[in-house]
Amino acid sequence: MDFKGKVIQKLDLESGTSARTGATWSKQSWILETDGQYPRKVKVDAMGRALENVHMEVGKTYTVSVDAESREYNSRWYTDLRVYRAVEEQDGNAAFGGGQPAQMPQQPASPFASTPTGFPPAPEAPAFTDSPDDLPF
């Protein structure tokens, strides 16, 4: 799942040791604010290898790719958004690190893209006649 947002806060790096395996872990979290009429604040986390590859700075806008996962604990459900890629938006064009333009696949144009709702136009109703035989079949 991808969405675009501006980083408004970088939270402190968390780390610890797994009680089950004894392995050490680290987690970095960011708060992003989405665009649109009703902006939303979304917290995303990076752990493991993603933490080595994802670098985001406060005040910059990114398109982030996340995996959503929910889990139950004590009859309550919690959802995590794990970011595995962040692409910085530069001058209206997405770019991977190093300032190279991203190659986005071209989507085929929809025949209904020009309609305001994105739905096909409604068929026109037949004209009303005073004929006794106005059945359509």
Q: What is the pLDDT of residues 21-76, one digit of tens each?
A: 989 999 999 999 998 899 999 999 999 888 888 999 999 999 999 999 999 999 99
Domain-located, residue 78: yes
Task: Specify the number of domains making up the chain.
Answer: 1
Domain-located, residue 109: no
Domain-located, residue 133: no
Domain-located, residue 128: no
Residue 8 φ/ψ region, left for φ over 0, alpha for ψ in the -120 to 50 degree band, beta for the rest = alpha
Domain-located, residue 28: yes
- Strand 14-17 to 24-34 pairing: antiparallel
The enclosing domain of 25 has a CATH number of 2.40.50.140
> Quick one: CA torsion of 70, 74, 76, 80, rounded to 10 degrees?
-30
Task: Say if residues 86 and 56 touch (Cβ distance below 8 Å).
Answer: yes
Long-range contacts of 38-45 (CB under 8 A, 24+ apart): 41/8, 42/3, 42/5, 42/81, 43/11, 43/81, 44/81, 44/82, 44/83, 45/80, 45/81, 45/82, 45/83
pTM score, two decimals? 0.63
Domain-located, residue 84: yes
Domain-located, residue 43: yes
Domain assignment of residue 63, given as a range? 2-93
Residue 105 has pLDDT above 60, yes or no: no
Domain-located, residue 98: no
